[in-house]
């Protein structure tokens, strides 16, 4: 599948779209709001240079740079990204891009830091022989957040632990659905302690392996007891032994079947792997994401619902890049696409824990 390409970076960062007119301050302020550069309470001057715009963005996202040279390089990248965002949003796509936390990164930098850490299974998955939701009649739409079964969006930071966040999110939800109590669980326990097999902390892992580790370990502790650090660490056996939630097993959803995935998500949030490295995925802001993207699985997320928006079917997906990315940390991805693997490979390797 075709992917979107990043722009060439121009040395001329003084853009040509600040043309004077009487309505410019209002129009540009609204543009900045839509792009996510400033908050609604911010009062802007009539004219804003790209450098000033970058400073506003840095302030909003708490960004700092090591020296003037690095800031200049980031400003150049930011300017190119802003021009691409404006150009894309001028079209008629089902979704919009914005100046989110990744707006000062090239796509190559973004991919190297925030994707590529989902490890492919060492051997192909065996076809699912049992799928307990096979005959379930799913409702037209569902959002597990409205049922109190989803914890707040978390932030994996610059650590490739997406696999741990995806596994933990689906366990948190399964536990709430079964036992009625929503408990935030520890990704750091998996990062530090689940390291004897394919799972390797910030260097990547697999959700099914995480489920297996938690089963063998007699459960997983809380986020409060073993908080996230965003880096590999030494396993704290004392904290690890204080299990708060146990799972009895896990099941793989039949691969390459969005119909099967729908039935599973109708019963509980599901861990999935996707190709999350596309330029448009990096800068996604709102709406139903329709691609382009490939199916080279490099990121793990959690499907927590589904629905229809203006005739377009979508999956509601919880990410682990904080609330300043996407729709407060979520992305809606097109559902029932022509490719049986699902958009960005979403239907290729879904699985869920059993409690």
Exposed, middle or buried: residue 73 (CB in 10 Å: 0-12, 13-18, 19+)?
Answer: middle
d(CA 265, CA 270): 6
Tokens representing 248 are 């009895």
d(CA 285, CA 94): 11
Q: Residue 89 belongs to what H/E stretch?
A: helix 68-89
DSSP character for 203?
A: G
Residue pair 100/325 in contact by the 8 Å Cβ criterion: yes
Catalytic residues: 162, 299, 319
* Furthest CA-CA distance within the chain: 67
Q: Which residues contact 71 (CB under 8 A, 6 or more apart)?
A: 65
Look-up: residue for tokens 């408990």?
183
Q: Residue 288 belongs to what H/E stretch?
A: strand 284-289
SS3 at position 123: coil
Query: What letters, b where the CB count within 10 A reaches 16 and e where it falls short, cover 137-151?
Result: ebeeebebbeeebbb
Residue pair 217/243 in contact by the 8 Å Cβ criterion: yes
Residue pair 305/331 in contact by the 8 Å Cβ criterion: no
Strand partners, 252: 351
**Angle 50-61/68-89 helices, nearest 10 degrees?**
100
The CA R_g of the chain, rounded to the nearest whole Å, is 21
Q: Is the dihedral of CA 236, 239, 243, 247 positive or negative?
A: negative
């Amino acid at each position: 599948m075709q992917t979107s390409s990043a722009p060439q970076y121009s040395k001329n960062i003084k853009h040509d779209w600040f043309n004077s007119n009487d309505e410019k301050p209002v129009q540009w302020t609204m543009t900045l709001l839509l792009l996510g550069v400033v908050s609604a309470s911010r009062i802007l001057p009539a004219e804003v240079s790209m450098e000033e715009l970058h400073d506003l963005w840095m302030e909003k996202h708490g960004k700092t740079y090591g020296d003037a040279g690095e800031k200049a390089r980031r400003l150049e990248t930011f300017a190119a990204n802003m021009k691409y965002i404006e150009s894309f949003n001028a079209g008629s796509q089902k979704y919009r891009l914005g100046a989110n936390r990744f707006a000062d990164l090239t796509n190559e930098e973004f991919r190297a830091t925030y994707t590529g850490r989902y490890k492919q299974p060492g051997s192909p998955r065996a076809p699912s022989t049992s799928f307990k939701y096979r005959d379930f009649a799913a409702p037209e739409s569902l959002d597990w957040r409205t049922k109190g079964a989803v914890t707040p969006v978390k932030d994996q930071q610059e650590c490739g632990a997406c696999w741990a966040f995806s596994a933990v999110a689906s366990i948190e939800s399964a536990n709430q659905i079964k036992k009625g109590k929503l408990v935030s669980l520890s990704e750091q326990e998996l990062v530090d302690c689940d390291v004897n097999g394919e799972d390797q902390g910030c260097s990547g892992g697999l959700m099914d392996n995480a489920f297996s580790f938690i089963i063998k370990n007699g459960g997983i502790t809380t986020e409060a007891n073993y908080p996230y650090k965003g880096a590999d660490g030494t396993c704290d056996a004392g904290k690890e032994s204080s299990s708060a939630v146990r799972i009895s097993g896990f099941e793989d959803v039949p691969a390459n079947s969005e119909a099967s995935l729908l039935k599973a998500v109708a019963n509980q949030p599901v861990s999935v792997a996707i190709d999350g490295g596309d330029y448009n995925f990096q800068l996604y802001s709102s709406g139903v994401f329709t691609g382009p993207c490939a199916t080279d699985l490099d990121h793990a997320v959690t499907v927590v619902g589904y629905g229809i928006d203006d005739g377009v079917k979508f999956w509601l997906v919880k990410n682990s890049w904080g609330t300043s990315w996407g729709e407060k940390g979520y992305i809606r991805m097109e559902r029932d696409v022509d490719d049986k693997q699902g958009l960005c490979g979403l239907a290729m390797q879904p699985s869920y824990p059993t409690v």
